[in-house]
């Protein structure tokens, strides 16, 4: 999988601080912006986040390109409704020779891996045969080749597996990213979307550390797990994984 931060609101922390300060200030916006030094922006944002005043963080957005994830994972991703998505179409792009994601439990079990790969190869062949059959039939019935090809793509795809890879561009505002990280960085989320969330979180922390140090699974940000009996019990491990100071500084140049 590849998760790449494509764009984000410039100076997101200053923008958010200005938006929040405007609520409580009689000054004009120019004066507010001028008075926002890095130090008082950080202090103010920490206070804002501790108070849980989240609407100002909606003003800044982050856009990611995510490639090479399975359709299982993209389906979980798009359940997050407060976001914008553009996903590679299986109607306009034919999936002959599609690539697929193999879960590690299958990858590491030779007999399962063999079965899985054989099945993928068979689906690739059957998909292609089905596509050709549909296309030929429609062309015989008078449809032009391009239109027939598109119908063939859109109907043959019914046999494609969830493992099939996809590409998607997602834009979320920071409030929505907070909700996404809360749910999908948690060990209860499935491994693949958890990996996506982890890659996104690391890149957000570099851009806006004061804000994103408050983002992540509840066991890290709220110091308690809401999962009850289903808790993974790994709070300490999670805290050392979601080390915002390390990722905001050491990995600054990775972006």
Ligand X SMILES: Cc1cc2nc3c(=O)[nH]c(=O)nc-3n(C[C@H](O)[C@H](O)[C@H](O)COP(=O)(O)OP(=O)(O)OC[C@H]3O[C@@H](n4cnc5c(N)ncnc54)[C@H](O)[C@@H]3O)c2cc1C
Q: Is residue 82 a contact residue for ligand X (CB under 6 A)?
A: yes
Q: Would you state the structure tokens that stand for residue 232, as one six-digit string?
A: 């993974």
| Closest separation in Å from C-beta 80 to ligand X | 4
Q: Please tell me the distance from the alpha carbon of residue 2 to that of residue 10, in angstroms, as a whole number.
A: 23
| Closest separation in Å from C-beta 240 to ligand X | 22
| Closest separation in Å from C-beta 15 to ligand X | 21
Q: Is residue 88 a contact residue for ligand X (CB under 6 A)?
A: no
Q: Is residue 81 a contact residue for ligand X (CB under 6 A)?
A: yes
Q: Please tell me the distance from the alpha carbon of residue 225 to that of residue 144, in angstroms, as a whole number.
A: 58
Decide: 61 and 172 in contact? Cβ < 8 Å: yes
Query: Which range, of 5-13, 47-55, 73-81, 98-106, touches ligand X by CB under 6 A?
Result: 73-81
Q: How many CA atoms lie within 13 A of 186 on its CB side?
A: 22
Q: Please tell me the distance from the alpha carbon of residue 67 to that of residue 124, in angstroms, as a whole number.
A: 20
Decide: 49 and 222 in contact? Cβ < 8 Å: no
Nearer to ligand X, 189 or 196 (CB): 189
Query: Which range, of 75-83, 146-154, 213-221, 235-243, touches ligand X by CB under 6 A?
Result: 75-83
Please, which of residues 174-203 interact with ligand X by CB under 6 A? 176, 179, 183-184, 188-189
| Closest separation in Å from C-beta 227 to ligand X | 9
194 is catalytic: no
Q: Is residue 124 a contact residue for ligand X (CB under 6 A)?
A: no
Q: Please tell me the distance from the alpha carbon of residue 65 to that of residue 85, in angstroms, as a whole number.
A: 10
Q: Would you state the structure tokens that stand for residue 57, as one six-digit string?
A: 């963080």
Give residue number: closest CB to ligand X: 81
| Closest separation in Å from C-beta 189 to ligand X | 5
- Going by their DSSP bridges, the two strands 2-8 and 61-70 should be labelled as antiparallel
| Closest separation in Å from C-beta 221 to ligand X | 15
Nearer to ligand X, 43 or 79 (CB): 79
Q: Which of 2, 79, 224, 249 binds ligand X (CB under 6 A)?
A: 79
Site string for ligand X, 148-177 (x = CB under 6 A): ----------------------------x-
Q: Compute CA 31 distance to the chain's CA centroid, rounded to the nearest angstrom.
A: 36
Nearest Cα neighbor of 219 from 209, 229, 232 is 232
Q: Please tell me the distance from the alpha carbon of residue 29 to that of residue 26, in angstroms, as a whole number.
A: 9
Q: Which of 4, 59, 80, 113 binds ligand X (CB under 6 A)?
A: 80
Instruction: Return all residues near 80 (Cβ < 8 A) that are at least 6 apart.
Output: 172, 176, 179, 180
Catalytic residue of the set 71, 131, 157, 184: 184
Please list the active-site residues: 184
Question: Can you give the binding site for ligand X, defined by CB under 6 A?
Answer: 79-82, 176, 179, 183-184, 188-189
């Amino acid at each position: 999988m590849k998760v790449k931060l494509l764009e984000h609101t410039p100076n997101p922390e200053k923008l958010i601080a200005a938006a929040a300060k405007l609520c409580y200030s009689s000054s004009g916006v120019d004066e507010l912006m001028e008075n926002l030094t890095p130090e008082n922006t950080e202090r103010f944002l920490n206070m804002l986040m501790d108070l849980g005043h989240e609407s100002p963080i909606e003003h800044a957005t982050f856009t990611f390109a995510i490639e090479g994830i399975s359709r299982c994972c993209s389906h979980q991703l798009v359940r997050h409704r407060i976001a914008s998505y553009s996903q590679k179409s299986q109607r306009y792009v034919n999936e002959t020779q599609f690539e697929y994601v193999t879960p590690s439990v299958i990858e590491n079990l030779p007999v399962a891996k063999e079965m899985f790969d054989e099945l993928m190869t068979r689906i690739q062949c059957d998909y292609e045969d089905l596509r050709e059959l549909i296309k030929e039939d429609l062309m015989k019935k008078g449809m032009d080749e391009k239109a027939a090809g598109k119908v063939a793509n859109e109907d043959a795809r019914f046999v494609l597996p969830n493992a099939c890879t996809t590409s998607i561009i997602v834009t979320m505002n920071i409030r929505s990213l907070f909700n996404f990280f809360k749910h999908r960085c948690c060990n209860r989320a499935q491994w693949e979307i958890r990996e996506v969330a982890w890659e996104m979180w690391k890149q957000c922390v570099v851009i806006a550390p004061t804000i994103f140090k408050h983002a992540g699974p509840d066991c890290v940000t709220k110091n308690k797990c809401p999962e009850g009996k289903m808790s993974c019990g790994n709070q300490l491990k999670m805290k050392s994984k979601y080390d915002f100071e390390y990722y905001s500084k050491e990995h600054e140049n990775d972006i």
